[in-house]
């Protein structure tokens, strides 16, 4: 299955891109996605400690589905 990954702010700059498509086995978890992303982009580490959203909501479910949009969110600083 394919999952769309988004990066913002400091992590977007470290990753050198705002998004990437990751292919995973069906039933893969967020933890497995993190492993793949950290392996592919060595400048991006420690993703487990970040806020993560799935389809625009803070992730409370570990299992990913085809077409999910997963965003890695650095600590926010709006206002």
Residues that bind another protein (CB under 8 A): 6, 8-10, 12-13, 53, 56-57, 71, 73-79
Work out how close the CB of 20 gets to another protein at its nearest, in angstroms, rounded to a whole number: 15
- For residue 79, the tally of other CB atoms under 10 A from its CB is 3
Work out how close the CB of 9 gets to another protein at its nearest, in angstroms, rounded to a whole number: 4
Work out how close the CB of 73 gets to another protein at its nearest, in angstroms, rounded to a whole number: 5
Q: Which residue has the tokens 């806020």?
A: 51
Of 24 and 50, which has the nearer Cβ to another protein? 50
Q: What sign results for the dihedral spanned by CA atoms 12, 6, 60, 1?
A: negative
Greatest Cα pair distance in the chain: 40
């Amino acid at each position: 299955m394919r999952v769309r990954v988004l990066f913002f702010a400091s992590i977007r700059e470290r990753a050198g891109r705002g998004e990437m498509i990751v292919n995973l086995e069906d039933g893969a978890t967020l933890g497995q996605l993190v492993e793949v992303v950290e392996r592919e982009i060595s400048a991006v580490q420690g993703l487990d400690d970040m806020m993560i959203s799935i389809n625009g909501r803070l992730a409370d479910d570990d299992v990913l589905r085809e077409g999910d949009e997963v965003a890695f969110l650095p600590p926010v600083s709006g206002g």
